[in-house]
Amino acid sequence: ALTALLRRDARIWFFFLLALFSLILALGEFTPLYQLLYFVPIFNRFRVPARFLFPFIFSMTFLAAICFDKLINHLRDSTTSSRAAEFIAGIFAILFVVMIGFAPLNVGMWIQVWQILPALFAFLGIIAMILALKRVVRRREFATVIIGLSLLDLTAFAFPFLTTVDTLISPSEFIQAPLSISAMDSTTFLYRMYTNVYNTSLRPNHQLIFDKQSAQAYTPLPLQRNDNYLFRLSPQMLNLLNVRYYLLPNGEVPPEFSEPTASVLLDPLRAEIEIRSTPTARVEIISYSDNTENLADGFLAGELEMKTANESVITFPIRLGIETADWAYASKAEIKHRKLQNVLSFPAFLISINRSFDGFKYVAQYTLPTQTNIISIHARTFLPAGKLIIENISLIDQEDKRSSLAALAHRNDLALVFKSHAVAVMENRDVLPRALVVHSAQVVSDDHALENMRSADFDPRQTVLLAQESALASTNTTPSDLTDKIEIVKYESETVAINVTADRAGYLILADTFYPGWEAYVDGQRTPIYRADYIFRAVPIRTGSHTIIFEFHPASFVIGAWISAISLILSGVLARIGLKKSWFTVPNAKENS
């Protein structure tokens, strides 16, 4: 504003109005003007108001530089050395040293300081400009004050960021792999984990330090389709997403963050689970309890209820020391109930004892008097909430054929592979590989694609849902049980190479995001990429062996490079013919008087 008053020309007013307009748009929904952008071409594609801060900062920087230049030329310079400028520089040097001494202050203290410093620096800057306008100070003194205030402002802003991480946790500890990582498969990195916002569950982006990939990402500009996919997850969709591990925080956390999605995890303690009529002669249950070391043998921790096809109910007890026991048995000096013989062990850690040990899940079986058709299963606990955990239930018929309750209920088959005071890691044994071949295809709209994928009948191994018509889509309509060979030989951020041997024509699906700029080559020939299963990439292949290469060559990068190059050339040409002189005319002595 001061610049516009000091130097009234079209260029100054342009940047002044641009700064004002950008600031208004940066307020987003808090100003009615922002809503009008939805009707303006190009601008209606901007979904983040903070983007408009860039032209605001650019304009304000330009105006500040012109204002500084105007005031400098407005002032007289001393023909001799300015002791006042040296004195002011000395004061700023002392203040800078003092500020360095306060750098180790905690973050809360710096936040309080930030509430004061902007107003203080603005006040001092205004005083300096008023003195400059009245020519009370000379050029060197004014320049020293403005530069000193700018340096102090930048320093005060930067110091907290130099110490915050080190104050909370040392950098070496921050990049140290947590114990939960050691429980994951280290022979390959081609799988994803599902985490949440809690740091104990290795929140999105943090896992990249350890060469692990997450189904989610912390980004201010998420893709809408990806968000739609993640917010409407089904077990089949998570398997297709190549999610192999779930990291769930332990402790008191809000229910919405305690699991990936209610439709994925098996929890017969929460609600009755209805299944198709399944012949059952024996029932196997995998379970464990938590913080039950003071409970004796035979304590009734819960009950398992099964409803038969003739509406009768069969009830089995879940007792400590008989059908289940405390998971942290090896970490406790004394436990009043026995440890079962049939156990499944997993790595564990508790901060209370500060050491690793083997945790246990317990396997128990019940025998029915006669083989019976089971149509629903429900469990109840007599322990506090979360202290009895049922991981899986299997129904076994007279021929020893097993039917997992997770599969019957269309849930993921999850197995606990690590547990600590902070996090539980569960492995999804139904996960699909990063790349697979499917021989049947349907062309459906996006809305129908999500609806079909959430259906319990959808099998991503048998049918791929395409967003565009394909020559193969109408020729391969019969599901196939044939086995195809797939090997990912190269997997990088901008290049993926896959060797495939297909028993017949179909589609290679790569469970990575479909995005403009990706190109596919099958045996060296450019091949179209189809958006498959709502967010993934697929290419058609014929019978036989093929090498498929995906490469990322975004047109936006090429266009941006050309725009930058042309702009640079034009800027040089315009500067050459004297445009720079007309924009930055140095006021003459008469103008300064």
Average the pLDDT over 380-397 and give the result. 94
pLDDT in tens, 425-471: 999 999 999 999 999 999 999 889 999 999 988 999 999 999 987 76
Share above pLDDT 70 across residues of the chain, in percent, rounded to a whole number: 86
Determine the Cα–Cα distance for residues 454 and 464; give it in Å rounded to an integer: 14
Q: Please state the separation of Cα 241 from the chain's center in Å.
A: 14
Looking at residue 95, what is its pLDDT? Answer: 87
Let me know if the fold of 273-411 is the same as that of 435-552. Answer: no
pLDDT above 50 (res 258): no
Spell out the domain ranges in the chain. 2-168, 179-257, 273-411, 435-552, 554-593
pLDDT surpasses 80 at 288: yes
| pLDDT at res. 442 | 92
- DSSP notation for 158-224: HHHHHHHHHHHS-HHHHTSPPHHHHTS--S----EEE--S-GGG--TTGGGGGT-EESS---SS--H
Q: How many CB atoms lie within 10 A of CB 5?
A: 10
Q: Is the pLDDT of residue 263 over 70?
A: no
pLDDT tens per residue across span 309-366:
999 999 999 999 999 999 999 998 899 999 999 999 999 999 889 999 999 999 999 9
In the block, tokens 């994925």 appear at 264
User: Higher model confidence: residue 210 or residue 240?
Assistant: 240
CATH number, domain 273-411:
2.60.60
Q: Quick one: average pLDDT of 238-249? A: 91
- Pairing status of strand 506-510 against strand 518-522: unpaired
Do residues 305 and 377 make contact, with C-beta atoms less than 8 angstroms apart? yes
For position 339, what pLDDT does the model report?
94
Could you report the per-residue pLDDT of 530-559, keeping only the tens digit for each? 999 999 999 999 999 999 999 999 998 899
Most confident of 251-265, 478-492, 506-520: 506-520
Mean of per-residue pLDDT scores for the chain:
85
**What average pLDDT does this structure show over 32-37?**
75
Which is it for the CA torsion 268, 272, 277, 279, positive or negative?
A: positive
Angstrom CA distances, 477 to 213, 349, 564, stand at: 34, 50, 49
**The two structure tokens encoding residue 506:** 């179909």
CATH 2.60.420 fits 435-552, yes or no: yes
pLDDT at 346: 95
Q: Which of 100-104, 180-184, 241-245, 265-269 has the highest mean pLDDT?
A: 241-245
Higher pLDDT, 588 or 57: 57
Residue 301 pLDDT more than 80? yes
DSSP 285-296: EEEEESS-TTSP
Q: What is the pLDDT of residue 589?
A: 44
Summarize the confidence of residues 194-211 as an average pLDDT: 77
Residue 325: which residues within 8 A CB-CB, separation 6 or more?
288, 289, 292, 335, 337, 338, 339, 340, 360, 362
Whether residue 255 has pLDDT greater than 70: no
pLDDT band at 162 (very low <50, low <70, confident <90, very high): low
**Span 38-53, average pLDDT:** 74
The whole-number pLDDT of residue 110 equals 74
Residue 253: partners with Cβ closer than 8 Å, 6 or more residues away = 198
